[in-house]
Amino acid sequence: MNRQAQAAVMFLLGAALLHAGSTDLYLRYVKAGLQPLLLASGAVLILTALATVWYERGRSRRRAAAGGSEGHEGDTHGHPEPRISWLLLLPLLALILIAPPALGSYSALRSGTALQKPYALGPLPSGDPAPLSVVDYASRAAYGHGRSLHGRTVRVTGFLALDHSGAPYLVRMALNCCAADAQPVKIALTGSLPPVLRPDAWLEVTGGYTPRLTHDPVNNGPVPYLKVTSAKPVPVPSDPYDETWNN
């Protein structure tokens, strides 16, 4: 792989990062807040590739003008790049051709809940039902003892996970940085549930607070219950992960 080929790979990688960062594809890999850095990285790679091509062409013209073909051959044959370097194209092709599915119930049930005690709990959003994330509801129910939830109806969206006994959980995978460090936050469901529950199906559930609480068998973390009054299937959201747990 010579300098021109290296520049081509760098250009393609930068273009792939720009493509991922300008669409929802990047949300499969990193949290939404990293989009500007992803776009900047793609732009830097493209500019570096173009600068490399410009420099190599200028050097070739200078060598030709100086009659330095002999030296050029020495550079080319004296320091050959290993062919294995072409394997750098594999992650590039994977990024372009394969969008990994979001982590689901399999990962959620094998990891303990990542719910953390919040620094503070703000007022409940307006509306009836009040829209809450899985993390927000779980934090208010487990650590706020439901004080802000009393007398209110809430709406929460997540995917289903069923434990070995068939007990249903509404889950959202929370990110610190990227999908590699995603951890689940879980809400146990009770009340009026659909007759057929399918793992990894996305549901929008409406209901209210119940003081019932259980603990995650993996790490003994708190898992609050939500008493469901209605539930309906929804499409997988463009951003399947939840970033609010460490805000």
**Cβ-based neighbours of 73, under 8 Å, separated by 6 or more:** none
Mean pLDDT of the region 105-126: 87
At 76 the pLDDT is 47
Residue 217 above 70 pLDDT?
A: yes
Residue 41 above 90 pLDDT?
A: no
At 92 the pLDDT is 66
CA distances in angstroms from 167 to 10, 34, 112, 187, 197, listed in the order given: 49, 35, 16, 11, 10
At 100 the pLDDT is 62
At 130 the pLDDT is 94
3-state secondary structure of 245: helix
- Taking the C-alpha atoms of residue 100 and residue 25, their distance in angstroms, rounded to an integer, is 9
CA distances in angstroms from 170 to 127, 150, 226, listed in the order given: 22, 20, 9
- The boundaries of every CATH 2.40.50.140 domain in the chain are 105-246
- Taking the C-alpha atoms of residue 226 and residue 31, their distance in angstroms, rounded to an integer, is 27
> Which two structure tokens, joined as six digits, stand for 195?
């007759």
Amino acid at 234: V
> Which two structure tokens, joined as six digits, stand for 214?
């259980």
At 96 the pLDDT is 62
CATH number of 105-246: 2.40.50.140
At 135 the pLDDT is 93
Backbone angles phi, psi at 102, to 5 degrees: -65, 150
At 195 the pLDDT is 87
Report the Cα–Cα distance between both ends of the chain, in Å, rounded. Answer: 45
> Which two structure tokens, joined as six digits, stand for 78?
């004296």
At 163 the pLDDT is 92
At 210 the pLDDT is 95
At 83 the pLDDT is 63
Per the listing, tokens 């249903």 go with: 168
At 247 the pLDDT is 44
Query: How do residues 118-175 score in pLDDT, each as one tens digit?
Result: 888 888 888 889 999 999 999 999 999 899 999 899 999 999 999 989 999 999 988 7
Residue 72 above 70 pLDDT?
A: no
- Taking the C-alpha atoms of residue 246 and residue 224, their distance in angstroms, rounded to an integer, is 18
Mean pLDDT of the region 90-107: 70
Amino acid at 23: T
Task: Name the DSSP letter for residue 127.
Answer: S
